[in-house]
């Protein structure tokens, strides 16, 4: 079983990274979450938490930026009808936005993901609402806590490819009494500089 991989990115093909493990000649194809794709370092060195999925006919490796993201992926994978690639697509909503959608029973947002219909979205809500900790708040490296709307905005911007630390810094500077729409526009304006 693989749990963690550290190495150099040799190739990127859609959601698949080919990673050569540090200190070995071994390379692995790893299907990665949108958060990983949005935070690939310019050095092309990467560390990933791995979910090793084995069946009778295949083996796949899925890579994640954090153990929390991997745990959410595994929770999604337990829902009947949700496979690995569909779970990755759901993570594209952003970790906090996805958790919020489940908590608020927002089947409309969940069914906006390709491959997720209304019935499947409702099944995700029913199966996971009681098993996910909804009290978590995003915290910056400096320890600043964000409100729930902030974490949704941060997750959305990170899933668009912006660096998480830079996003958190900018969101922390924008007046949080403004509407979410105004804050989103202002954040994107500042991130584009």
Contact 94, 159 (CB under 8 A): yes
Domain spanning 72-128, CATH architecture: Orthogonal Bundle (1.10)
- State the pLDDT at residue 147: 63
**Local structure of residue 14 (DSSP, 8 states):** T
Query: How far apart are alpha carbons 185 and 183 in whole angstroms?
Result: 6
Give kind and range of the element (H or E) at residue 5.
strand 4-13
pLDDT value at residue 145: 54
- Buried b vs exposed e over 141-165: b needs ≥16 C-beta within 10 Å? eeeeebebebbbbbbbbbbeebebe
Spatial neighbors of 140 by CB under 8 A, at least 6 apart, are 146, 165, 168, 169, 172
**Residue 178 CA from chain centroid, whole number:** 26
Task: Specify the fold of 4-64.
Answer: OB fold (Dihydrolipoamide Acetyltransferase, E2P) (2.40.50)
pLDDT for position 141:
38
What secondary structure letter does DSSP report for 113? S
At 142 the pLDDT is 43
The reported pLDDT for the residue numbered 138 is: 44
pLDDT tens by residue, the chain, 193 residues: 688 888 999 999 988 999 999 888 889 999 998 878 877 877 788 888 999 998 888 899 999 988 888 999 999 999 988 989 999 999 888 888 888 888 888 888 898 888 899 999 999 999 998 777 554 444 443 444 556 567 777 777 777 777 777 888 888 888 877 777 788 888 888 887 7
Domain ranges of the chain: 4-64, 72-128, 148-191
Dihedral pair phi/psi, residue 78, rounded to 5°: -75, -20
Length of the chain: 193
């Amino acid at each position: 079983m693989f749990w963690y991989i550290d190495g150099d990115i040799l190739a990127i093909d859609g959601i698949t990274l080919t990673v050569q493990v540090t200190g070995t000649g071994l390379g692995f194809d790893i299907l990665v979450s949108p958060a990983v794709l949005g935070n690939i370092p310019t050095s092309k060195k990467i560390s990933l938490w791995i979910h090793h999925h084995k069946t009778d006919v295949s083996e796949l490796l899925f890579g994640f930026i954090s153990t929390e993201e991997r745990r959410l992926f595994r929770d999604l994978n337990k829902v009947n009808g949700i496979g690995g690639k569909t779970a990755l697509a759901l993570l594209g909503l952003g970790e906090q936005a996805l958790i919020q959608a489940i908590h608020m029973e927002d089947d409309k947002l969940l069914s906006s993901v390709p491959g997720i219909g209304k019935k499947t979205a409702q099944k995700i809500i029913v199966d996971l609402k009681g098993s996910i900790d909804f009290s978590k708040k995003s915290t910056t490296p400096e320890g600043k806590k964000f409100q729930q709307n902030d974490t949704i905005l941060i997750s959305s911007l990170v899933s668009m490819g912006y660096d998480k630390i830079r996003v958190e810094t900018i969101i922390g500077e924008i007046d949080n009494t403004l509407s979410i729409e105004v804050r989103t526009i202002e954040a994107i304006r500042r991130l584009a500089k």
